[in-house]
Structure 1
Amino acid sequence: MNRELTQTLRGLGNALIKTYFHDWLPEKKRIDRYLEDVVLNSPILRMDKVQGGDHITPQERLQEIKDEHKGYQTLSRNIERIEAFLDGLSDEERVLIDLHYCQGLELGEISFKLKKDQADVLKNLFSIQGRLGGFWTGEGEVA
């Protein structure tokens, strides 16, 4: 695989992980909280009836809203794709992702915590980023 493609896939993987933790997860949580508050606490929606006269439960209506909203579905699919990738990582790789993206530690701090050479930490991080970029685009695994 050429160098430019490898760097592009690593950059994409890096951007996806950052977006997942800092944008997608908080946004989905915010939307879910809002919808649950509006739908589950709405006396009007408790009155919704289905064909035949039975009432739709607020929980069913909430699920319908989520199922019908294309933006919500896209966000959910993107989160599921990232989570499928992250689930396939080793425990050591998950720790590296947590330290770097969630805790915001620099490579030197991660290296110290993991008792690994900084070059190895960077190589592992680049590997994860490249693999995610390849996974996301269908380009296959990047070394």
Structure 2
Amino acid sequence: MAEIRKADPVAQRRVLLVVIVGAIAGTLSITAFEHDGTFVKEWLLSAPEQLVDRVKLVFFSLGAALSLPLIGGAALFWSIGVKVLNAREFPPPGMRVIRDTPVSTGIAAIWRGRALKVFALCLAVAAAWSWVVIAQLGSVVSARVP
């Protein structure tokens, strides 16, 4: 019978806290922009001579807001993948889990470690691609600004 890594109650509480805080932050952000999103428009139009630069800044900020979480996730999954490959065990020793998890060893752990690294690369590519697409969109929009 395979070894079972027991769930860590502290890790469970942390995950729950992160989910709740993220949901509240997302809800507040959406509410703020839907309720009074005119402040961005007013800021953009307040200095017509700086409009092109401000439009580019808005798109740059949007690109960062979308890319940084992907880059952080990529770094996390890459790190876990490296630990799994070094230990030849998934989850790696010392890693806290939020539910009872059977420990995989040998070739199964190696495949999981490699899969985590591939997923990390996919996230990094998605971050870079979203940054490029948003930058191009910002250039197109700012070129059409009168």
More strand by share: 2
Larger radius of gyration: 2
TM beyond 0.5? no
What TM-score results when the alignment is normalised by the length of structure 1? 0.33
What TM-score results when the alignment is normalised by the length of structure 2? 0.32
